Structure 1
């Protein structure tokens, strides 16, 4: 079966949850999360959950685990850097059964075109956890736009299809 045939069989509506990891963001100033929600809905998909949690291991893990039973895809933003407070990546990696290294590799390739060598600081990661796809993006609006427009938007339904076929 070709990729085109897979895309034709993919669900038209994907159930997506959005998690923002930040010690300072609120729903009013969460530009990255607000952008993701608007874009997901614009594509006709369903936002089944949204939350903002502190950059704390237990809170991040609880948020992912809360959404995993209902969401086919969870997209997070924030907490992916290399500072001591950034713990998103180890948490997400601990949940993933099947890593998708290409997601992070392609994200950094796209980022490099915009921010040059600073792209190496991105620890964007994606993979399958049970029956839910997890994608962790950096928290900046530019990074979220890069990940959404460059990788996830046009493949979201196809990705969801691959999980259940």
Structure 2
């Protein structure tokens, strides 16, 4: 029930903590920094996320830096999306000419989570006021992993992690496992393909006339659609274990559904986020 102002004391829901606790204890994560200038030594935002994920007990599958180039960003995300449960990107979310992260990310989302960007800009407004509108941070679900795109500054990444993601990651993964991933089954048929038209009635056969049998029909749209959907589903979930010791397969979030990993949340107190003039 929605709590309305003046309608009495607010009573927190008990469902959210239960869902957090029901999520997997270990989440497989990837960090992707998007920048023309940063290196592992100067990428403070990427190193911050790396430390936070590891301290929370999650598994860092890969950390890498790519240029502010749409082709490179898409290639990296396409390769990584089936290797992890979570992809965190930083950089390229502004309005400058080289900021191309958001169009690429949005084109790969099959189920956006607009609340992430809304909450991020709300929290940013409390720190930088109207400049928060310059951030196009976004997130959602791809065909294989949760994906969140954040600005590149350390302060912005701290805001997104501390204020939004840290305590909700297991809840998010739980919801995906409970509801299923988009694209894991054949999509619903359009209304025009839902059922084949009824065959016309055959006229009565006069006595003594041999019966006429209609010619066999070509394969129907329904059977073709199901076969194609099944083939696509099998191909999408077929994984190859690589030589990288950090890679344990390419099943993405589905891996947790098979193993049934569950545990209580780990609450870790963090320092208060400081203002960053470079947001």
Same structural fold, with TM-score higher than 0.5 when normalized by the shorter chain: yes
Place the TM-score, normalised by the shorter chain, in its bin: over 0.9
Question: Is residue 90 from structure 1 mapped to residue 103 from structure 2 by the alignment?
Answer: yes
Higher relative contact order (CA 8 A, sep 6+): 1
Is the 2:21–2:170 Cα contact (8 Å) retained in structure 1?
A: no
Offset at residue 110 of structure 1 (A):
0.3
- Hey, what does 1:63 align to over in structure 2? 76
Question: Is residue 132 from structure 1 mapped to residue 180 from structure 2 by the alignment?
Answer: no
SS of 1:119's equivalent in the other structure is helix
Moved over 3 A (4+): none
Question: Is residue 20 from structure 1 mapped to residue 28 from structure 2 by the alignment?
Answer: no
Cα deviation, 1:16-48, whole Å, max 9, x if unaligned, reads 100000000000000000000000101000111
Offset at residue 138 of structure 1 (A):
0.2
- Hey, what does 1:75 align to over in structure 2? 88
SS of 1:26's equivalent in the other structure is coil
Q: Higher strand fraction: Structure 1 or Structure 2?
A: 1
- Hey, what does 1:141 align to over in structure 2? 154
Structure 2: where are the runs of 5+ without partners? 1-13, 179-279
RMSD over equivalenced CA pairs, Å: 0.9
Cα deviation, 1:47-85, whole Å, max 9, x if unaligned, reads 111110000001111111111111101000000000110
SS of 1:69's equivalent in the other structure is coil
* Bigger Rg, structure 1 or 2: 2
- Hey, what does 2:248 align to over in structure 1? none
Cα deviation, 1:83-142, whole Å, max 9, x if unaligned, reads 110000000000000011100000000000011000000000000001311100000000
Q: Higher helix fraction: Structure 1 or Structure 2?
A: 1
Structure 1: where are the runs of 5+ without partners? none
Within 2, Cα distance between the matches of 1:161 and 1:14? 11
Within 2, Cα distance between the matches of 1:34 and 1:5? 31
SS of 2:141's equivalent in the other structure is strand
TM-score by length of structure 2 reads: 0.58
TM-score by length of structure 1 reads: 0.98
